[in-house]
């Protein structure tokens, strides 16, 4: 029985108040499970009403007595030496007999006394065997000696009554121990199957029932999956809107960060507005990624990712895999503890101990009292009525036969009592050896000890499986204060083959990933992130920058270039009227940069190409050549009113440098820039200017491909087209963000409330319940109760009864010796007196 209990608890560790909902029969929960749980609950209530716990007054002493009874834990020694069951049997046959010699001493004494009684005592007591009674003569025993004998017998009688009454304590302890074991076993089954509140454990049946519900919820066509698909489809507009807005922001950012647009090679010009535009665009992008719309979309996408496609298949497989050890555990518990629950094994043992133990105890005590009374009577007769005057001879004393007959009757009956006590004490002592040894193993079980006896227990302690079992034994069975989550102690591989705990696999990687997205929604809304992006300060600034400032008005000669040291352009600084145009823009017209937009040259006028040409005309006679379609005309320099040859060197140098600067302007306006646009389905160029909402809530013209992705392509364009495209994006972004804000408002409640509630009630809350409810703290309490009841109650009680019987036998043996001496003395006096009186009589024993 002890071995079965230990194996059951080990299987508890291999697991490699209830939910409040009615438990129904399903894939993993059978009607037989429900019946056993009901029986366990009733049995626990009934058994624990009799005895739910026991008090061990001196545990150290009781432990020492168990160690003594176990022959120095001989079973552990054999189990540590054996590598399998066959070796266990072989070693047990070799070592147990020698180790149990001490335990068999009372039984050996039984046979010795039986032989002595049969061959010696009975022979010497036989009336026809007087010749065997050596040293026969009449002895006058002083009264003081008889008084001492009376005192010794009285001491023996008192000790005999005391030690024989100790058997009553042993039977009571054994009965209490088995009652406690019965209660602990029934409670264990009840707690394992239906759970308990302190320490909290959900229970196998509720857990398996939840797994049944989860598998049903996650199956294709279930109401949960159908409702989930409907909400995901209904809220897909938010994900589409976020994607459209994000792709447009990214497209504009890519166009503004392309060095072919920001600093065209060979033009010595740079885009002063591109960096501030990129910064403002980044702020809008951050607002988009951290806003409510993105949080809603992320939550929706995460739910879709976790509960659809291959992830759903993997999740179902993980749930199915997690149930395997639970089902195995349930089967093991039912097999190991069925006698405690379904049968009345423990009740029968307790009843037998209560009835037969009491009878045996009363019988032994009664016999001891009768023998004691007989011994006292024999000694008192010996003291007071050993002899009297003879009726035939007035001067002679006659010895009474009653004295030696009473003594003979006492020691003969005491021999039977001694043999019975030695026999019963020996049997119980031998029985206690393996039981006490197994009890010590159960109490001392640990990861190290289990490793030593793993071969015999048929438990694999190698590798990760053994390490897990060791942690479970140390933290579950031997942890008296904690209540660790069992799923934290089980290591499995995730989908990528990386080791992780079962808790992380079921809870963190699924539940937390989804709930964290919904938490982000709440945090975003609470922090003010719920405001629409189209009306945000960041976007209003960006739109103003895009729409009110032409990009080429801030495409000016590079401020980091050393114009004064370049021979081609240093001459322009010789003419104070045209020198300022070294900072002129590539735009034809002059522009004044608006204030409060964060752009360079705010509030300053920036000269354009036309102003540059006009100033040159006022200083020189230009022979211009139109370079259509650009305003940056080519020209030759002449002095005003005279021929070209009349220009002095300084004026000519200034004019030639200006002409070369104009060539740079021409290059800027005529070279190819890189414009970006979408290519719908990789064929049709597209922008969102024609995007509109249909009557059913769907959108058209948003440049998505048929598969929902976006394709971005670049194409060659001139400066004017590039500038116009950037300005157009002020309206494009306004359109996509207006759509995004509308989708956010429409989807907020559906996602934050409806979508969150659906997986939470059907899946996430159940996963969390399993993860936090499958604990193992209850194992330690239950295991300790079983050990205390079975070992410190039952086995200790058996050993106490055995010790009591053995002590009774030893004391009775001393009484036999004393009464035998009295018998011989009294008998010899009678026989000697007969010879003296010339009588020949056979004195019967």
pLDDT tens per residue, range 666-675? 888 888 999 9
Q: What is the per-residue pLDDT for 19?
A: 38
- Average pLDDT rounded to a whole number, residues 38-53: 79
pLDDT at residue 386, rounded to an integer:
66
The mean pLDDT value for 194-215 works out to: 84
The confidence band for 121, taking pLDDT boundaries of 50, 70 and 90, is: low
Q: What is the pLDDT of residues 53-112, one digit of tens each?
A: 777 778 888 888 888 888 888 888 888 888 888 888 888 888 877 777 777 888 888 888
Q: Residue 284: inside a domain, yes or no?
A: no
- Higher per-residue confidence, 141 vs 213: 213
Highest mean pLDDT (candidates 313-317, 560-564, 636-640): 560-564
**Lowest mean pLDDT, pick from 81-95, 215-229, 316-330, 549-563:** 316-330
- Which tokens hold the place of 479? 């942890």
* Stretch 713-742: mean pLDDT: 93
Look-up: residue for tokens 């972004």? Answer: 733
Q: Residue 7: what pLDDT?
A: 54
What gap in Å lies between CA 51 and CA 41, rounded to an integer? 15
Q: What is the mean pLDDT of residues 166-194?
A: 81
Tell me: pLDDT of 37 over 80.
yes
Find the mean pLDDT for residues 3-14: 50
Res. 472: pLDDT tops 90:
no
Is residue 709 a part of any domain in this protein? yes
Quick one: pLDDT at residue 714? 93
Q: Kindly state the average pLDDT of the residues 623-650.
A: 70
User: What is the mean predicted confidence (pLDDT) over 385-408?
Assistant: 66
pLDDT at res. 282: 92
Q: Among 737, 739, 678, 751, which residue's Cα sits nearest to residue 713? A: 678
Per-residue pLDDT band at 49 (split at 50, 70, 90): confident
The rounded distance, in Å, linking the Cα atoms of 591 and 604 is 8
Cβ-proximal residues to 330 (8 Å cutoff; 6+ apart), any chain? 33, 193, 204, 208
pLDDT in tens, 219-234: 888 888 888 888 888 8
* Inter-axis angle of helices 292-306 and 223-234, nearest 10: 150
- Residues 611-623 have a mean pLDDT of 80
- 733 within 8 A of 539, measured Cβ to Cβ: yes
Domain assignment present for residue 711? The answer is: yes
Residue corresponding to tokens 């008084």: 147
Task: Say which range, 423-432, 519-528, 723-732, has the weakest mean pLDDT.
Answer: 519-528
Residues sharing a CB contact under 8 Å with residue 242, sequence separation 6 or more, in sequence order: 288, 293, 294, 297, 740
Residue 184 half-sphere exposure, CB side, CA atoms within 13 Å?
25
Give the lowest-confidence range in 117-131, 372-386, 535-549, 723-737. 117-131
Supply the range of the domain harboring residue 690.
672-717
| Token representation of residue 670 | 């005529």
Is 571 exposed, middle or buried (CB count within 10 Å of its CB: 0-12, 13-18, 19+)? buried
Using the 8-state DSSP alphabet, how is residue 23 labeled?
Answer: P
Which DSSP string do the residues of 429-474 spell out, in sequence order? HHHHHHHHHHHHHHHH--HHHHHHTHHHHT---SHHHHHHHHHHII
Could you tell me whether strands 621-625 and 634-638 are parallel, antiparallel, or unpaired per DSSP bridges? antiparallel
Mean pLDDT of 303-309: 82
Least confident piece of the model among 32-41, 354-363, 656-665, 748-757: 354-363
Task: DSSP for 465-499, please give it.
Answer: HHHHHHHHIIIIIS-SS---BGGGS-EEE-TTS-E
Give the pLDDT score at 21: 43
| Over residues 246-274, mean pLDDT | 92
Mean pLDDT for the chain overall: 80
Q: Does residue 143 register a pLDDT over 90?
A: no
Considering only residues 318 and 115, tell me which one the structure prediction assigns the higher pLDDT.
115
Choose the weakest-confidence range: 276-280, 333-337, 405-409, 556-560. Answer: 333-337
- Residue 762, in any domain of the structure: no
Higher pLDDT, 741 or 473: 741
pLDDT at 18: 36
Q: Per-residue pLDDT tens for 362-378?
A: 788 788 888 878 888 88
The pLDDT of residue 581 is 92
Length of the chain: 845
Torsion angle (degrees, nearest 10) of CA 162, 164, 169, 175: -170
Looking at residue 254, its pLDDT comes to 93
Mean pLDDT over 178-198 rounds to 83
pTM: 0.63
In a domain, 691, yes or no: yes
Please identify which residue in the block is written with the tokens 């950012």. 253
pLDDT band at 125 (very low <50, low <70, confident <90, very high): low
pLDDT band at 555 (very low <50, low <70, confident <90, very high): very high
| Percent of the chain topping pLDDT 70 | 87
Residue 52 has pLDDT above 60, yes or no: yes
Reply yes or no on whether the pLDDT at 495 is more than 50: yes
125 vs 263 pLDDT, higher one: 263
pLDDT at 650 over 80: yes
Judged against a pLDDT cut of 70, whether residue 420 lies above it is answered with: yes
User: Is residue 822 domain-resident?
Assistant: no
490, 467 contact by CB (below 8 A): no
Do the domain assignments include residue 692?
A: yes
Mean pLDDT of 811-819: 84
pLDDT tens sequence across 593-610: 999 888 998 999 999 998
- The pLDDT, as a whole number, for residue 249 is 94
What pLDDT, on a 0 to 100 scale, did the predictor assign at position 130?
Answer: 54
Total number of domains in the chain: 1
Instruction: Report the pLDDT value the prediction gives residue 127, as an integer from 0 to 100.
Output: 56
Average pLDDT estimate for 174-186 = 81
State the pLDDT confidence band at 429, using cuts at 50, 70 and 90.
confident
Q: How far apart are CA 845 and CA 843, in angstroms?
A: 6
Cβ pair 548, 738 in contact under 8 A: no
Residue 143's alpha-carbon distances to 69, 379, 386, 388, 585, in angstroms, are 45, 11, 11, 15, 146
| Percentage of residues in the chain having pLDDT higher than 90 | 16
Q: Are 789 and 177 in contact (CB under 8 A)?
A: yes
Q: What is the mean pLDDT of residues 494-521?
A: 76
């Amino acid at each position: 029985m002890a071995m079965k209990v230990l194996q059951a608890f080990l299987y508890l560790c291999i697991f490699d108040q209830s939910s409040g909902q009615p438990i129904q029969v399903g894939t993993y929960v059978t009607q037989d499970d429900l019946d056993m749980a009901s029986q366990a609950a009733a049995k626990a209530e009934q058994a624990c009403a009799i005895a739910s716990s026991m008090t061990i007054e001196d545990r150290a002493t009781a432990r020492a007595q168990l160690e003594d009874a176990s022959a120095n834990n001989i079973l552990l020694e054999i189990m540590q030496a054996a590598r399998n069951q066959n070796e266990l049997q072989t070693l047990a046959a070799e070592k147990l007999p020698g180790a149990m010699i001490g335990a068999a001493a009372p039984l050996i004494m039984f046979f010795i006394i039986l032989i002595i009684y049969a061959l010696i005592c009975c022979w010497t007591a036989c009336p026809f065997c007087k010749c065997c009674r050596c040293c026969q003569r009449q002895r006058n025993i002083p009264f003081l000696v008889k008084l001492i004998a009376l005192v010794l017998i009285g001491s023996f009688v008192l000790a005999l009554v005391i030690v024989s009454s100790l058997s009553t304590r042993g039977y009571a302890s054994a009965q209490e121990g088995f009652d406690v074991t019965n209660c602990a076993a029934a409670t264990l089954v009840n707690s394992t199957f239906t759970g308990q509140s302190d320490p909290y454990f959900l229970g196998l049946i509720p857990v398996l029932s939840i797994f049944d519900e989860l598998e049903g919820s996650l199956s294709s066509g279930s109401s949960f999956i159908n409702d989930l698909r409907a909400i995901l489809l209904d809220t897909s507009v938010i994900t589409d809107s976020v994607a459209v807005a994000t792709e447009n922001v990214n497209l504009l950012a890519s166009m503004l960060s392309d060095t072919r647009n920001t600093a065209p090679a060979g033009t010595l010009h740079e885009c002063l507005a591109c960096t501030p535009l990129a910064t403002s665009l980044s702020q809008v992008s951050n607002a988009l990624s951290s806003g409510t719309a993105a949080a809603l979309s992320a939550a929706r996408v995460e739910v879709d990712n976790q509960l659809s496609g291959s992830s759903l298949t993997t999740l179902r497989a993980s749930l199915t895999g997690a149930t395997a050890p639970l089902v195995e555990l349930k089967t093991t518990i039912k097999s190991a503890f069925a006698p405690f629950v379904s049968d009345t094994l423990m009740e029968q043992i307790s009843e037998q101990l209560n009835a037969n133990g009491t009878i045996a105890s009363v019988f032994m005590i009664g016999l001891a009292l009768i023998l004691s009374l007989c011994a006292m009577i024999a000694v008192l007769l010996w003291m007071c009525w050993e002899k009297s005057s003879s009726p035939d001879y007035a001067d002679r004393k006659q010895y009474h036969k009653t004295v030696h007959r009473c003594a003979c009757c006492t020691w003969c009956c005491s021999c039977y009592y001694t043999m019975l006590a030695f026999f019963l004490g020996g049997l119980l002592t031998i029985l206690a050896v393996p039981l006490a040894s197994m009890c010590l193993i159960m109490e001392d079980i640990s990861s190290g000890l289990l490793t030593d006896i793993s071969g015999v227990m048929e438990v694999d302690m190698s590798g990760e499986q053994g390490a897990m079992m060791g942690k479970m034994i140390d933290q579950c069975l031997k942890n008296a204060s904690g209540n660790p989550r069992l799923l934290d102690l089980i290591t499995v591989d995730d989908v990528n083959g990386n080791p992780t705990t079962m808790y992380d696999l079921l809870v963190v990687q699924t539940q937390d990933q989804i709930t964290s997205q919904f938490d982000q929604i709440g945090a975003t809304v609470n922090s003010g992130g719920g405001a629409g992006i189209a009306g945000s300060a960041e976007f209003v600034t960006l739109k103003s920058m895009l729409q009110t400032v032409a990009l080429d008005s801030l495409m000016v000669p590079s401020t980091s270039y050393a114009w004064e040291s370049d021979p081609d352009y240093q001459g322009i600084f010789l003419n104070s009227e045209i020198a300022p145009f070294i900072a002129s823009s590539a735009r034809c017209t002059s522009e004044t940069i608006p204030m409060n937009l964060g752009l360079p040259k705010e509030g300053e006028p920036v000269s354009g190409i036309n102003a540059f040409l006009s100033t040159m005309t006022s200083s020189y006679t230009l022979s211009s050549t139109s370079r259509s379609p650009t305003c940056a005309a080519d020209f030759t320099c002449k002095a005003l009113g005279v021929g070209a040859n009349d220009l002095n060197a300084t004026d000519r140098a200034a004019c030639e440098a200006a002409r070369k600067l104009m060539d740079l302007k021409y290059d800027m306006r005529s070279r190819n820039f890189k414009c970006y646009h979408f290519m719908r389905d990789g064929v049709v160029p597209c922008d969102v200017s024609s995007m509109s909402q249909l009557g059913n809530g769907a959108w058209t013209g948003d440049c998505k491909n048929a598969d929902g992705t976006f394709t971005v392509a670049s194409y060659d364009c001139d400066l004017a087209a590039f500038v116009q495209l950037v300005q157009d994006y002020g309206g494009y972004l306004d359109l996509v963000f207006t759509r995004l804000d509308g989708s956010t408002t429409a989807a907020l409640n559906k996602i934050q409330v409806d979508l969150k509630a659906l997986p939470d009630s059907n899946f996430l809350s159940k996963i969390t319940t399993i993860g936090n409810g499958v604990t193992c703290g209850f194992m330690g309490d239950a295991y300790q109760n079983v050990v205390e009841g079975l070992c410190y109650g039952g086995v200790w009680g058996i050993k106490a009864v055995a010790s009591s019987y053995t002590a009774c036998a030893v004391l009775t043996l001393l009484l036999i010796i004393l009464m035998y001496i009295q018998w011989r003395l009294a008998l010899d006096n009678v026989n000697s007196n007969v010879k003296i009186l010339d009588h020949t009589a056979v004195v019967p024993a």
